[in-house]
Amino acid sequence: MPDQRPNFLFIMADDHASHAMSCYGSRINATPNLDRIADDGMRFDNCFCTNSICTPSRAAILTGSYNHVNGVTTLDTPMDNSLPTFVKDLRADGYQTGIFGKWHLGQGPAHEPSGFDEWAVLPGQGLYHNPSFIFPTNKGSERRPVKGYVTDIITDMSLDFLRRREGDRPFFLMCHHKAPHRHWEPDDKHAHLFLNQDVPEPETLYDDYANRASAASAAEMRLGTHMIPLDTKTEIPRDLPEMELRKWAYQRYIKDYLRVVASIDDNVGRLLDYLDDHGLRENTVVVYTSDQGFFLGDHGWYDKRFMYEESLKMPYIMRYPDGIAAGSVNRDMILNVDFAPTYLELAGLPAPDHCQGRSFAPQLRGETPDDWRESMYYRYWMHKAQHNVYAHYGIRTRRYKLIYYYADALGQAGAIDEPYAPEWELFDLERDPYELNNVIDDPDYAERVIELKAELHRLQAEVGDERYHLDVD
Ligand code: CA
């Protein structure tokens, strides 16, 4: 009896926002190969990360737990590789497992990939051109340079894993791109794209951060103003008035971002072609996602970290002809901590106790459980580090978003110990989808604020996190 369990090809980009994917209605680019996954499978419109930054989101995906539980709260808290992960469970159950590309969960014997039959990962962020990779050896691991462009190389390694796999056992393959992470260095093949055209600007490019808590204006991620020449590939005309500088820097930045995305799209096409050409199409689950979203000039910013929509939202599309109807769309709230229990269920395994997320396998069949979540919990811990974003937590419901900037490092590794007076923000996403108007003190919302604070604290207790000591309501 042949093994009927599905294979998995899990493709994850780094900082690829869904509003730069045509299957999500992008106004600025086309991603025909990513669209193949959505057209032949399911697009999730409300997939959220629980902490919008690389290392913590990756740990949440692998463990199925929130960062206060798995201990990976910031970029400076590498993951203990003895933690249980869904990949280890699949491997123990006979799956062939591999990961190629960006890891960013720490280096050395206690932090490098474990639970994988094969792996090769970039040290830290890695390089776009001729990057070094860390490979396992009999004695541990070693670093070696590889010639070429990083997105092509990671795809080549993934294809090589597929070619060499044992045909009678299912696989779980993680293809983790570095792209389109800062500093957005395209390859020669895509350097000509967008050359003689202006890319449409986002609605909030000239945001002045009025009517917001002080965190928005304090953030140091403004286009031009907080960029370095590596970002724009040329000297920055810093004497321009700020809004003109934003306009200039947006075009410089977004074109390189989209060129780098174009290479991902081509390379995803190569992987899909391989599956289709080798009889693997029907029984392979293909996922494309990103560790979080990104500000594509939205609010005048690049980067992420904030609980605002563009950063909170992860693209998540999934193809599985044996189990998902083509061209379907799901609008339930799913989270990065849900991935692990979902993949385990599809492989016929129960979710272990440490998984805090919930399997969305029913949604793949077009069914939403009656008690599915209507709110989600978020927390960003890395107070002030790198881009001066204040530590915050909050909830998002269908209509509202409540954010509490407690603005305190709380001893977290990498956070800066310079606390500020806490502030609240409330957005009515129905009336204010771009989150430009904080209504926390609007008397019309007074009742709503009480309800939402209660829901925040309920959710926080449910996931086992601690309330900040000045959050007393
Ligand atoms: Ca990232």
Contacts of 458 by beta carbon, 8 Å cutoff, 6+ apart: none
Distance from the alpha carbon of residue 278 to the mean position of ligand 1, in angstroms: 32
Residue-wise pLDDT for 160-219, tens only, equals: 999 999 999 999 999 999 999 999 999 999 999 999 999 999 999 999 999 999 999 999
State which amino acid sits at residue 413: A
Q: Which domains does the chain have, with CATH numbers?
A: 7-186+252-371 (3.40.720.10), 376-463 (3.30.1120.10)
Q: Does residue 1 have a pLDDT over 70?
A: no
Each residue of 423-448: pLDDT tens digit?
999 999 999 999 999 999 999 999 99
> How far does residue 139's CA lie from ligand 1's centre (Å)?
30
DSSP annotation of 6 reads: P
Q: Region 105-116: what's the mean pLDDT?
A: 96
Does an H or E element contain 441, and which?
Answer: none
| Cα-to-centroid distance, 64 and ligand 1 (Å) | 18
- Give residue 54 CA to ligand 1 midpoint distance, Å: 4
pLDDT value for 2: 72
461 CA from centroid of ligand 1 (Å):
27
- Distance of CA 418 from the midpoint of ligand 1 (Å): 25
Query: What is the four-CA torsion angle of 414, 457, 469, 386, rounded to 10 degrees?
Result: 20
Q: Reply yes or no on whether the pLDDT at 106 is more than 80.
A: yes
What pLDDT is attached to residue 263? 98
| C-alpha 14 – ligand 1 centre gap (Å) | 4
| 3-class secondary structure, 368 | coil
On whether the CB atoms of residues 145 and 114 are closer than 8 A, the answer is no
How far is the centre of ligand 1, averaged over its atoms, from the C-alpha of 61 (Å)? 13
User: Would the pLDDT of 3 be above 90?
Assistant: no
Per-residue DSSP letters for 244-312?
A: HHHHHHHHHHHHHHHHHHHHHHHHHHHHHHHHHHTT-STTEEEEEEESS---SSGGGB----SSSHHHH
* Residue closest to 412 by CA, chosen among 433, 392, 426: 392
Distance from Cα 16 to the centre of ligand 1, integer Å? 8
Q: What is the mean pLDDT of residues 35-43?
A: 98
CA of 335 to the centre of ligand 1 (A): 15
Distance 400 CA to ligand 1 centre (A): 25
The pTM score is 0.98
CA of 304 to the centre of ligand 1 (A): 8
Tell me what the mean pLDDT of segment 47-75 comes to.
98
- Residue 250 pLDDT more than 70? yes
